Amino acid sequence: MKTILIPTDFSSNANNALNYAIELCKKDPAKLLIVNAYKADLEGHKDSSIAIPEGAPFKPIKRSPMQRLITIATFAF
């Protein structure tokens, strides 16, 4: 394996998947990519096929769960 992609929603199941991937990387070195995708809240937009205007009012994303995940992954290696 060259790259392992780990999607996360910061749940305990996702954390278990990350820990499993970390153990795989220890045995067979690979690039570990962690991704978190979310559905943007576009207030007032009913049609998702429209172009999103620059500066659209997105709700701020809390970075603390991702920072915790990065810390866990960093200390695992």
Per-residue pLDDT at 40: 64
Per-residue pLDDT at 47: 58
Dump pLDDT digits (tens) for 6-48.
998 888 898 899 899 999 999 998 998 888 877 666 666 565 5
User: Could you list the residue range(s) of the whole structural domain that residue 57 is in?
Assistant: 3-76
In which band, very low, low, confident or very high, does the pLDDT at 66 lie, cut at 50, 70 and 90? confident
pLDDT at residue 49 above 90? no
Tell me, yes or no, if the pTM score tops 0.75. no
The enclosing H or E element of 74 equals helix 64-76
Please count the structural domains in the chain. Answer: 1
